[in-house]
Amino acid sequence: MKTIYNFSAGPAVLPKPVLEKVQEELLNYRNSGMSVLELSHRSPWFEDIISQAEKRLRELMDIPENYQVLFLQGGASLQFSMLPLNLAKNQKAYYVNTGSWSKKAISEAKKIADVQVETLASSEDEHFTYIPKIDPATIDQDAAYVHITTNNTIEGTVYTDLPETGKVPLVADMSSNILSAPYDVRKFGVIYAGAQKNIGPAGLTVVIIRDDLINRSDTISAMLDYKIQADNHSLYNTPPTFSIYLAKLVLEWLQELGGVPAIEQLNRKKARLLYEAIDQSDLFQSPIRIADRSIMNIPFITGNKEVDAQFNKEAQAAGFENLKGHRSVGGMRASLYNAFPIEGVYDLIDFMHKFEKNVGGKKTNDIHYQNI
């Protein structure tokens, strides 16, 4: 079988040792006589799985005791509604608009009648190619929270410095860069992340929430109530058991590598190699402001739709899967999540060099996404 490199933005590549462990345990988990897929979520086997998953995550992110860790369903998209329902009733909620997922979060929050949604800053004026600065003086200190998307999966931007929000809790959708680099959890009121990029397979959402932000409300459905979920230790209903099991294995794998500082060093090397290849190329270019470039999701373009299409076609034939850029922006996008091997970056760069030599071409003056 030829080597395949999966650059998918999610569901994303998983560590090979983890997949091999799953294969080993799939039919008979820990001599239970049952597949891990068949275990009751009330069984001692699964109780150990979910407690170990939480323990590993707490260790990797240094999560303080006054924060709850929840393993939920519905993806990060459900948090777009769950968050304002729990935290912002009859209050103002600030959002920073840095791309497609921020816009969706804003749209969902606006559907809740008792929440006053305000866009604090936006980079839409330049097609989301940078992270906007925030003046702390513009933040009403009685607001419920300030929401950011730490890494913009589609656009390829990342926060290198967190905004100052005073006493207003900072809330982050960290779906596409959680565990890729260290974050001080104490600077956030809530962190949430869909698991299908750096934690595990699709179907699981992780929420890290400070205790003082968990409030019961009789007007919220039990499934959407953070307090009910916390009181039931994420077992109010049947959780995504297999996804949690696989997440536990990924977290163990990351700890064995040396934790978040070790994977950050590798991630930055992978990203640096690819950005250098793009910047030194006479054909490829990055549309993102250098200071705000993501190390997880790296978009690049040629400035010519036909050439982009040709590159994507030839790349896929050569074993580079899911390099095509998001349909909303076009071009190409390499997602280099934690489990993506550095060998894939080297091979992609070699392929880019060969393609450029065969096709030729020069960079255009317009470095914006061509489909906008």
- Which residues are the active-site residues? 101, 173, 197
Can you give the three-state secondary structure of 69-109, one letter per residue?
EEEECCHHHHHHHHHHHHHCCCEEEEEEECCHHHHHHHHHH
- How are beta strands 5-6 and 320-321 bridged, if at all? parallel
CA–CA distance, 54 with 67 (Å, rounded to integer): 12
Q: In whole angstroms, how far apart are CA 303 and each of 203, 248, 262, 280? A: 36, 42, 36, 15
CA–CA distance, 233 with 357 (Å, rounded to integer): 57
Cβ atoms of 154 and 172 within 8 Å: the answer is no
- Picking from 37, 108, 122, 39, the residue whose alpha carbon sits closest to that of residue 75 is 108
CA–CA distance, 242 with 240 (Å, rounded to integer): 6
- Picking from 366, 10, 25, the residue whose alpha carbon sits closest to that of residue 197 is 10
Which structure tokens are listed for 209? 């929430």
What single string gives the DSSP state of each residue in 272-323? HHHHHHHHH-SS-B--S-GGGB-SSEEEEB-S-HHHHHHHHHHHHHTTEET-
CB under 8 Å to 193, separation ≥6 — which residues? 76, 173, 174, 175, 178, 199, 205, 206
Q: In whole angstroms, how far apart are CA 286 and each of 141, 210, 264, 266? A: 38, 37, 22, 21
Q: Classify 343 in phi/psi space as left (phi over 0), alpha (psi -120 to 50) or beta.
A: alpha
Instruction: Specify the amino acid at residue 39.
Output: L
DSSP state of 163: P
Instruction: State whether the Cα torsion 21-23-29-31 is positive or negative.
Output: negative
